């Protein structure tokens, strides 16, 4: 018997992106309550959803603090009414006029940097415009990417270049990206402590040199869910927690049932002698992200479920070309290949929610009973 929501899903063109609103709300509430228990303010990173409708459910109120990864996101959410936005990618001088334009709308947009050259560029723009731009200095807590070590003499030199040039030193920030490479709450808690210690030490050093440093910002999705003590920290950031994905499930941050995002696809053929099921979701729908490849369990390009989202045992999207996906059984599986005729609708859980969502222009939203009521939430794109 075909149920009501199957009829509704069957009207969608595939491949397309599905978002379960109840799981989104559950994930948001989980971290919101955790931040409250740790005594810090949550600054959600809106880079995963890139959507006004998603943001409206993530932020406790429109004026709440938010983080973004592109200035196009900052422009979108400033128009939405978000008034405190942190642009978390190191600033380039060419983007400063756009930063000032966004700030002129009434949005308190701050920027991030980790070098004297960037600080001097911001200071020069502040003098030229006669306006102060708020700045966070990025601190390296785990050698993941950018940032200044908390004990580096360069930290105070950057601060001096900023404040003497008329910029505002808003605070320090770190992101423990290496936490994605370990598994389990204990390991993630250790990285959370590295974040806390590095930023607090940096803030103390800046204050000792006579600089204001009101905000101490830490966070990644793994560390935000595992931190035990955030003494000295003022705010907690995380992004992919809103949707979760197979990478987060693979390192123990969430369960497969918490993943709110999936790609709806249709069976378009078979290679029965090879044990292949072909679908119309290739890398253009899923992305090429192979974030689980080095985890304990490699999930290929995604786990496969029926149109209700119930996963098939050991069924994996193992290969993708531009518009084709190949589904197979894991080689170690004792299960037989399910009978999935041409035209069957399937749902695939993504490795990396941010990367998969970026392949689509918006979300077809599933309500709590998995019905689609015509809700489509558009996404922004570009930089």
What average pLDDT does the structure give for the chain? 95
Instruction: Give the model confidence (pLDDT) of 66-110 as tens digits.
Output: 999 999 999 999 999 999 999 999 999 999 999 999 999 999 999
Q: Which residues belong to CATH 3.20.20.10 in the chain?
A: 40-241
Give ranges for CATH 2.40.37.20 in the chain.
4-17+260-378
Distance CA 307, CA 329 (A): 18
Q: How far is CA 61 from the centre of its chain?
A: 20
Is-contact 266 12, C-beta < 8 A? Answer: no
- Tokens encoding 381: 């794109």
The phi-psi region of residue 103 (left if phi > 0; otherwise alpha if psi is between -120 and 50; otherwise beta) is: alpha
Q: Alpha-carbon distance 36 to 237, whole Å?
A: 13
Q: Tell me how crowded residue 133 is: count the other CB atoms within 10 A of its CB.
A: 23
pLDDT at 7 over 70: no
> Which of the following CATH numbers is that of domain 40-241: 3.20.20.10, 2.60.110.10, 1.10.1040.50, 3.50.50.60?
3.20.20.10
Read off the tokens for 114.
């980790």
Asked if the model's pLDDT at residue 1 lies above 60, the reply is no
Q: How far is CA 367 from CA 130, 282, 327, in A?
A: 49, 26, 28
Confidence class of residue 371 from pLDDT cuts 50, 70 and 90? low
The two tokens of residue 165 are 């040039």
The domain 4-17+260-378: what is its CATH number? 2.40.37.20
Reply yes or no on whether the pLDDT at 234 is more than 50.
yes
pLDDT tens digit sequence for 12-69: 999 999 999 999 999 999 999 999 999 999 999 999 999 999 999 999 876 789 999 9
CB atoms within 10 A of CB 343: 9
**What pLDDT is recorded for position 334?**
86
For residues 325-330, average pLDDT:
97
Strands of the 134-138 sheet, one edge to the other: 41-44, 235-238, 215-218, 168-173, 134-138, 108-113, 84-90, 65-68
Buried b (16+ CB within 10 A) or exposed e, 161-174: bbbebbbbbbbbbb
| pLDDT score, position 302 | 98
111-133 tens-digit pLDDT: 999 999 999 999 999 999 999 99
Q: Are strands 215-218 and 168-173 parallel, antiparallel or unpaired?
A: parallel
């Amino acid at each position: 018997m075909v149920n009501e929501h199957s009829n509704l899903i069957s009207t969608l063109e595939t491949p397309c992106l599905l978002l379960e609103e109840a799981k989104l709300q559950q994930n948001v509430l989980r971290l919101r309550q955790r931040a409250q228990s740790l005594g810090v303010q949550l600054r959600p990173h809106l880079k995963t959803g890139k959507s006004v409708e998603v943001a409206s459910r993530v932020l406790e109120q429109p004026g709440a603090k938010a983080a973004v990864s592109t200035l196009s996101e900052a422009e979108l959410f400033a128009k939405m009414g978000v008034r405190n936005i942190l642009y978390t990618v190191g600033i380039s001088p060419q983007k400063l006029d756009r930063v000032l334009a966004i700030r002129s709308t009434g949005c308190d947009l701050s920027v991030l940097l980790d070098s004297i050259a960037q600080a001097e560029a911001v200071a020069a723009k502040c003098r030229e415009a006669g306006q102060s731009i708020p700045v966070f200095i990025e601190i390296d807590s785990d050698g993941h990417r950018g940032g200044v070590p908390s004990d580096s003499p360069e930290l105070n030199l950057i601060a001096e270049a900023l404040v003497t040039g008329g910029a505002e030193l808003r605070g320090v920030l770190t992101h423990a990206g290496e936490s994605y490479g370990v598994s389990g709450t204990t390991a993630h808690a250790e990285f959370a402590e590295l974040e806390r210690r590095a930023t607090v030490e940096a803030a103390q050093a800046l204050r000792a040199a006579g600089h204001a440093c009101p905000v101490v910002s830490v966070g990644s999705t793994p560390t935000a869910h595992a931190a035990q003590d955030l003494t000295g920290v003022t705010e907690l950031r995380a992004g992919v927690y809103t949707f979760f994905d197979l990478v987060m499930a693979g390192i123990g941050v969430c369960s497969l049932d918490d993943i709110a995002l999936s790609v709806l696809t249709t069976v378009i053929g078979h290679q029965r002698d090879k044990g292949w099921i072909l679908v119309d979701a290739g890398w253009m729908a899923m992305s090429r992200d192979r974030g689980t490849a080095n985890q304990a369990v490699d999930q290929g390009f995604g786990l496969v479920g029926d149109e209700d989202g119930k996963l098939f045992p050991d069924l994996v999207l193992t290969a993708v070309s531009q518009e084709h996906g190949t589904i197979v059984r894991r080689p170690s599986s004792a299960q037989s290949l399910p009978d999935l005729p041409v035209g069957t609708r399937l749902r695939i859980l993504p490795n990396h929610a941010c990367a998969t969502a970026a392949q689509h222009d918006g979300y077809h939203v599933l309500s709590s009973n998995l019905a689609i009521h015509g809700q489509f939430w558009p996404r922004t794109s570009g930089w």
